[in-house]
Amino acid sequence: MTNYLRVTTPVEGTDGKTRFHNVGVAFPQRDGSKSKMKIKLHSFPINGELVLFEPKDADDDGNVTE
């Protein structure tokens, strides 16, 4: 596992396909910590849904189709 995860939100395009827009990152906490992960958002998902993925190459606008 990597040392962080991408935090995304699903967005349905006009073509009916779902794309995942990057909204932040999540970092696992140290062993023995009371919390499991720390999430830093750089935008707020208006649909209220977050999906986490391991990092991978994205296209120019930062959106990834999974």
Contact 23, 42 (CB under 8 A): yes
Answer yes or no: is 34 within a domain: yes
Number of domains in the chain: 1
Answer yes or no: is 29 within a domain: yes
How far CA 17 is from CA of 8, 11, 54, in Å, comes to 15, 8, 21
Q: What residues make up the domain containing 45?
A: 5-57
pLDDT at 57: 64
Convert the pLDDT of each residue in 30-62 to its tens digit: 999 999 999 999 999 999 999 999 988 655 455
Answer yes or no: is 10 within a domain: yes
Answer yes or no: is 64 within a domain: no
Answer yes or no: is 65 within a domain: no
Answer yes or no: is 63 within a domain: no
pLDDT at 65: 54
Answer yes or no: is 18 within a domain: yes
Convert the pLDDT of each residue in 14-36 to its tens digit: 999 999 999 999 999 999 999 99
Answer yes or no: is 16 within a domain: yes
pLDDT at 27: 96
- Enumerate residues 6+ apart whose C-beta is below 8 A from 65: 17, 18, 19, 20
